[in-house]
Amino acid sequence: MSNTLTSTNYQFPNQTKVYKGKVRDVYTVDNDTLIMIATDRISAFDVVLPEGIPFKGQVLNQIAAKFLDATKDIVPNWKQAVPHPLVTVGIRCEPYLVEMIVRGYLTGSAWREYKKGVRSICGVSLLEGMKENEKFLTPILTPTTKADEGHDENISREEIIEQGLVSKDDYEQLEKYALALFQRGSEMADEKGLILVDTKYEFGRQNDTIYLIDEIHTPDSSRYFYKEGYQERFEKGEEQRQLSKEFVRKWLMDNGFQGREGEQVPEMTESYCNEVSERYIELYEIITGDKFEKADTQNLAKSIEKNILEYLKK
């Protein structure tokens, strides 16, 4: 796809480090500033898929920026500026080695485990007799370790503290922040006719301050159901209408791929990639209430570099 950004290779003034994640390329400048570029790469089952999705990076970056602004009264966050639709610049923090997953409903990987008979996830006990997509009495926290490569692993609160991954005081604060952010995200989704089903938050620390880092409430880090028809579909045991990356995972599973050894990613045709792009744009418009303005994708890599360099000169 010629109009997608799937890799970057920049050298900014005073650049000290480059980290390339599954979908984001992060450049460190002067050891204290992060330049996060949301590429159009897409991952599922911890595998980066071979084709980019048009406008996906812009969608993720702009949703995250909006929600970072809308939640900074709850917890300080790393964002300082958005010099380009695919780029956020902000404060470099020392990340905590866990991701805070908040689940409001029994779905996705949690449901897959529940179906196998698992009744405790990350030390959280689950009631007997629950159904797929059922709402929990209160949202639950199911943290994972953060893996640079491969799979993140489920871990309990007790194990995190015992292993010294996060101090007890900090972990308790992270729990409070994560649940408060989920509450705010749920309220904002509800206003737009959506249900925030589950999501993940990442936090970091600079000096004595905890910051919310990375993205927030995007379709890559979150799952949304449409509120209308949720109850009826749930009672009939039907699939929920949802806006999230789960439809990509489902397509992969239907085509025999779950990231296991020996499995092959099915062909991602141009029409399929454009269909995924439309789903991302749909979520953007519904969750933000704003019309999506497509960025100019001509010379995308060059325009990103130009805007970042102009910002760094300020």
User: Residue 207 domain-assigned?
Assistant: yes
User: Residue 129 domain-assigned?
Assistant: yes
Mean pLDDT value of segment 38-60 = 95
User: Residue 52 domain-assigned?
Assistant: no
CA dist., res. 294 & res. 99, Å (int): 31
Domain range for 216 is 95-244
User: Residue 144 domain-assigned?
Assistant: yes
pLDDT class of 264 with cuts at 50, 70, 90? very high
| pLDDT > 90: percent of the chain | 88
pLDDT at 151 (0 to 100): 63
pLDDT at 101 (0 to 100): 97
User: Residue 65 domain-assigned?
Assistant: no
pTM of structure: 0.90
User: Residue 155 domain-assigned?
Assistant: yes
Q: Cα dihedral angle (110, 182, 276, 264), rounded to 10 degrees?
A: -30
What's the CATH code of the domain at 223? 3.30.470.20
150, pLDDT greater than 60: no
Instruction: Using DSSP, state whether 305 is helix, strand or coil.
Output: helix
Total structural domains in the chain? Answer: 1
User: Residue 239 domain-assigned?
Assistant: yes
Mean pLDDT value of segment 194-217 = 96
Mean pLDDT value of segment 211-220 = 92
Mean pLDDT value of segment 92-120 = 96
125, pLDDT greater than 80: yes
User: Residue 67 domain-assigned?
Assistant: no
pLDDT at 145 (0 to 100): 93
